[in-house]
Structure 1
Amino acid sequence: MFGSRLKMLREEKGLKQKDLAKIIGISDRTIGMYEQGRREPDFETLIKIADHFGVTTDYLLGRTDNPRGMIVSNKENEKFNQYLPEELRKGDVQIEIEKEPHESLQLSEEELKFLAKEFYKEFITRGGFEYVEKLKKESQTKKD
């Protein structure tokens, strides 16, 4: 699963194995082995790959088909949003979390608070609203 997803993401970005290898800081042979399923990345490399493509490590590993989020119920999504800092709750930015009524995580209040805190840290790390605008532009370009 990891190898095929890595190859798909790399090709979607129009990157050659050697290009991605240079970005991640590993050899192009290693990328080839990952894609063939003959080798697996260490945690640090997995995180670098996920960050580069803007997907979760769970998506890369095949634990979810949702590249950028988690599955929660509408009720959990509302609670999650209430724990976010005010600056993320106002404005035109909507946090989209895939919803599948038959598959809910059944998160506790503490887990929702923790996720909101971790989401916010990740949001800031990736560049905040500038990153969101970049994603919007990339998404619009793909639609056109």
Structure 2
Amino acid sequence: MRGDRLREIRVKRGLSQRELAQRCDLGEQQIWRYENNETDPSGAIVMRIARELEITTDYLLGLVDEPTSHLTANDLTPAEWRLVQAYRSGDLGHLLDMARQLAVQSSSEDKA
């Protein structure tokens, strides 16, 4: 994990090492070690820290340069966008129907 990125985002969020540690159920010294690249966290801890800081794990790992994903409607097909809208509306039945239709459609396209 990139310790410099962890420190940068933590400071931007106005959190002390102690506060971040408490939110992630870790020890304060552990956060210090991560920020100073003395030890690497497990994948589960990277995910916990990323979730708490509202950033991607890819950013913490140095795989991308943007801390958050900026997926827009333009990046989705119309069917994918409808799925997102159904999910956000909380209409689980409609969401499941749409997912089934997409699965059938995808299966048909794979056979062709």
TM-score normalised by L of structure 2: 0.66
Q: Which runs of 5+ in 1 are unaligned?
A: 90-119, 121-144
The reply on whether 1:37 has 2:22 as its aligned counterpart is: no
Q: 1:55-134 residue pairs with structure 2 within 5 A? A: 55-69=55-69, 77-79=75-77, 82-86=79-83, 88=85
Larger of the two Rg values belongs to structure? 2
Q: Percent identity?
A: 31
- Describe the superposition over 1:53-108 as per-residue Cα deviations: whole angstroms up to 9, x where unpaired: 1111001111001222278xx6xx142x531345628xxxxxxxxxxxxxxxxxxx
With over 3 angstroms needed to count, the CA separation of the structure-2 counterparts of 1:88 and 1:42, relative to structure 1, is: same
RMSD: 2.7
- Aligned pair count reads 87
Distance 1:17 1:26 in 2: 10
**Inter-CA distance 25–82: structure 2 relative to 1 (3 Å threshold):** same
Runs of 4+ more than 4 Å apart: none
Structure 2: runs of 5 or more not aligned:
89-112
SS in structure 1 of the partner of residue 65 of structure 2: coil
- The structure with the greater share of residues assigned to helix is 2
